[in-house]
């Protein structure tokens, strides 16, 4: 198990937040960590020149009475942008001589804006896009610790703001990476969903946490972390404030969890020291993930930050990140066939102990 070193200059972050409106009324927020903007020496004055008309988005949420799961019906997403050529990247900066993009500025650090093709609409929920960098050739794993910290500040800010919206039940930042996952834009970015209902996984976690507490346990997620720290065999990394481990019943060929040592409901509640260490440990883990499969330069993955529910059952949740990959070997994917897709009965072709061992090996 690796020990974590956090450099002293990672202890604080200066980020300046400024918001504008795009031509169709959507909100866009800059999170600047470089001059001249971070100190306020200059202000963001760019405007969206595209003259977009507001989209008529009519999504709805329906209840599957057979399972109790909610399903978002969002037919307008069928026509969203799909793997455009490099000169039509909608997440690139808007530069002279090139088509204007979603970001009016000629350069940026981290940007958050309302998704033009959202899953939710009509005031029930909100979907935002988070651009990690203006450089389309990078990935989160190649960011500097300073830039990773800026992304964390953006996640924390949006978590706090979206949690305060009427009807929000859970806020989840996540990243899909790789065409194998099904990404439609290759520019390094993620999303943040403010769900107007509790997703099925959160409902299950709340149910298990309630039963665990009724049986005399404490916080389920905290108790699991302590158990993994004691067992050590599935531990990947242990820092002063964060630990990473492979779940006992991992479903995917590559899966890991990252959790704070302190009981924290969400990213907005993290201290300065916890955010500083998170920037270091998260980059460490992502770089290990990229070395996991021999000969694979960038491992496809989904990384999701599970945060405590907003309102009811909040005390049963606890911040943690789950990362998994659909790749089971170089050039081979794990397809969710009959047992997994039809019945929800998972089969893993490897063991959590082997996964953890490999993640320690590639440190």
Q: What is the mean pLDDT of residues 11-40?
A: 93
Q: Is the pLDDT of residue 287 over 80?
A: yes
Residue 125, token pair as written in the block: 């929920």
Alpha helices by DSSP H, the chain: 145-163, 200-214, 220-231, 272-290, 343, 352-361
pLDDT of residue 13: 80
pLDDT of residue 124: 87
Listed in sequence order, the residues at least 6 apart from 17 whose beta carbon sits closer than 8 Å to its beta carbon are 29, 30, 31, 32, 157
Residues 327/253, Cβ–Cβ less than 8 Å: yes
pLDDT of residue 122: 74
pLDDT of residue 2: 46
pTM listed for this prediction: 0.94
Boundaries of every domain in the chain: 8-197, 201-361
Residues labelled catalytic: 189
Asked if domains 8-197 and 201-361 share a fold, the reply is yes
Q: For residue range 140-150, what is the model confidence (pLDDT) as tens digits?
A: 999 999 999 99
pLDDT of residue 162: 98
Residue 135, token pair as written in the block: 């450089």
pLDDT of residue 56: 78
- Residue, of 75 and 227, whose pLDDT is higher: 227
Residues 245/257, Cβ–Cβ less than 8 Å: yes
pLDDT of residue 167: 96
Listed in sequence order, the residues at least 6 apart from 317 whose beta carbon sits closer than 8 Å to its beta carbon are 202, 205, 206, 209, 221, 265, 306, 307, 308, 309
Q: For residue range 48-62, what is the model confidence (pLDDT) as tens digits?
A: 999 998 877 878 999
- Distance between CA 187 and CA 134 in Å, rounded? 8
SS3 content of the chain, % helix, strand, coil (to 5): 30, 25, 50
pLDDT confidence bin for 123, thresholds 50/70/90: confident
Q: For residue range 71-94, what is the model confidence (pLDDT) as tens digits?
A: 999 887 767 777 788 788 999 999
The CA-CA-CA angle for residues 265, 271, 275, to 5°, reads 95
pLDDT of residue 143: 98
Q: What is the mean pLDDT of residues 111-131?
A: 92
Q: For residue range 178-196, what is the model confidence (pLDDT) as tens digits?
A: 999 989 899 999 999 999 9
**What is the CATH number assigned to the segment(s) 8-197?**
3.30.428.10
Q: For residue range 234-279, what is the model confidence (pLDDT) as tens digits?
A: 999 999 999 999 999 999 999 999 999 999 999 999 999 999 999 9
Q: Is the pLDDT of residue 11 over 50?
A: no
**What is the CATH number assigned to the segment(s) 201-361?**
3.30.428.10
The overall average pLDDT reported for the chain is: 94
pLDDT confidence bin for 8, thresholds 50/70/90: very low
Q: What is the mean pLDDT of residues 207-212?
A: 98
DSSP 39: T
- Distance between CA 256 and CA 138 in Å, rounded? 23
Least Cα distance to 177 among 142, 146, 150 occurs for 142
Q: For residue range 294-347, what is the model confidence (pLDDT) as tens digits?
A: 999 999 999 999 999 999 999 999 999 999 999 999 999 999 989 999 999 999
> Three-state DSSP class for 283?
helix
pLDDT of residue 77: 77
To the nearest whole percent, how much of the chain has pLDDT over 90?
88
């Amino acid at each position: 198990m690796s020990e974590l070193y956090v450099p002293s200059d990672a202890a604080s972050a200066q980020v300046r937040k400024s918001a504008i409106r795009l031509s169709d009324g959507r909100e866009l927020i800059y999170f600047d960590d470089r001059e001249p903007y971070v100190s306020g020496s200059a202000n963001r004055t760019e405007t969206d020149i595209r003259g977009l008309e507001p989209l008529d988005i009519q999504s709805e949420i329906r209840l599957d009475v057979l399972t109790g799961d909610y399903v978002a019906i969002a037919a307008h997403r069928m026509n969203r942008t799909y793997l455009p050529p490099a000169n039509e990247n909608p997440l690139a900066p808007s530069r002279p001589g090139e088509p204007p993009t979603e970001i009016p500025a000629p350069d940026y650090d981290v940007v958050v804006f309302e998704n033009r093709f959202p899953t939710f609409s009509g005031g029930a929920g909100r979907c935002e896009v988070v651009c990690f960098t203006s450089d389309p050739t990078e990935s989160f794993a190649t960011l500097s610790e300073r830039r990773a910290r800026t992304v964390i500040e953006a996640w924390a800010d949006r978590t706090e703001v979206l949690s305060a919206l009427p009807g929000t039940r859970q806020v989840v930042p996540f990243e899909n990476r790789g065409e194998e996952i099904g990404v439609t834009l290759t520019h390094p970015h993620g999303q943040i969903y403010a769900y107007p209902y509790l997703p099925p996984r959160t409902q299950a976690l709340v149910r298990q946490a309630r039963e665990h507490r009724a049986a005399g346990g404490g916080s389920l997620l905290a108790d699991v972390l302590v158990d993994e720290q004691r067992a050590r065999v599935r531990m990947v990394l242990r820092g002063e404030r964060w630990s990473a481990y492979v779940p006992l019943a991992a479903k995917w060929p590559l899966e890991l969890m990252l959790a704070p040592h302190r009981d924290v409901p969400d990213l907005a509640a993290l201290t300065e020291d916890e955010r500083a260490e998170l920037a270091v440990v998260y980059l460490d883990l992502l770089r290990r993930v990229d070395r996991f499969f021999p000969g694979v330069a960038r491992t496809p993955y989904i990384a999701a930050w599970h945060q405590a529910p907003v309102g009811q059952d909040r005390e049963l949740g606890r911040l943690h990140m789950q990362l998994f990959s659909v790749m089971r070997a170089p050039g081979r994917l794990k397809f969710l066939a009959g047992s997994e897709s039809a019945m929800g009965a998972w089969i893993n072709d490897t063991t959590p102990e082997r996964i953890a061992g490999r993640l320690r090996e590639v440190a």
